[in-house]
Structure 1
């Protein structure tokens, strides 16, 4: 007579922990990809510069259209609304912005936007231009 102290079972693959790990990896890669997507601006005719350099990705890209409309992340702002939005940021002195103005925009409109940024406390301001 044969005695068995331990029951022998076949090994099996548990699928539920594998699904959990795959979903975790999927969420991780989605979050990383969202951070890598640049802020899409408007299709503007930027002025050209022979000294244009690549800047680090700013927190905000402020677009000024031909008619003087100020747009940030798809929303239109007045100058007062822009100043309030930038001032409500965590720390405006560390906020990086880039101003992208169409080359047909009057320089005075550009200066008004720059003044609104400085009144909000933003000091790190870049100007978008396309390289020659």
Structure 2
């Protein structure tokens, strides 16, 4: 007589808890990655304009301080270094540059950034400005 007290069952892999763990890990890594992206800038008083458009996030943001100092990614650069940086990006026609100049910055310092971009054959140049608050001219 062959009696079985314990019935042998085929092993099953439960997939629902595995999906829960994978989604938790995915959310965790997304949050960690977003906090690793530097989102620092230079405090500037941007000029205002009545006609402003939202620009896509550019490859380079050049901050021009009131004393004429140029900063890219928290590094002080010269116009020659700017030209080299833009040229090293690869395809100058696809390089997007936004210039954020303080409203008290001399126009010559602003033009130095444009000259550096043009020497590197960059054609997609944006200018940062704040929209005029409603009710003001």
TM-score (norm 2): 0.77
SS of 1:27 mapped into structure 2 = helix
Q: How many residues align?
A: 129
Shift of 1:6: 4.5
Name structure 1 gaps, 5 residues minimum. Answer: none
User: Structure 1 pair 24/49, CA: closer, same or farther in 2 (3 Å)?
Assistant: closer
Name structure 2 gaps, 5 residues minimum. Answer: 133-137
In structure 2, the residue matched to 1:104 is: 104
In structure 2, the residue matched to 1:23 is: 25
In structure 2, the residue matched to 1:58 is: 58
User: For the residues of structure 2 that align with 1:128 and 1:54, how far apart are their CA atoms?
Assistant: 10
Shift of 1:79: 0.5
In structure 1, the residue matched to 2:76 is: 76
User: For the residues of structure 1 that align with 2:46 and 2:30, how far apart are their CA atoms?
Assistant: 36
Within a 5 Å distance, the mapping from 1:77-92 to structure 2 comes to 77-92=77-92
User: Structure 1 pair 118/19, CA: closer, same or farther in 2 (3 Å)?
Assistant: same
Post-superposition Cα deviations, 1:28-60, rounded to whole Å, max 9, x if no partner, equal 4544x369x685321111111101111111111
Post-superposition Cα deviations, 1:101-121, rounded to whole Å, max 9, x if no partner, equal 011111111111101011112
User: For the residues of structure 1 that align with 2:9 and 2:122, how far apart are their CA atoms?
Assistant: 70
Post-superposition Cα deviations, 1:73-103, rounded to whole Å, max 9, x if no partner, equal 1111011011101110021210111100011
Alpha-carbon RMSD across the aligned residues, in angstroms, is 3.2
Contact 1:39 1:61 in 2 (8 A): no
User: Structure 1 pair 19/53, CA: closer, same or farther in 2 (3 Å)?
Assistant: closer
In structure 2, the residue matched to 1:122 is: 122
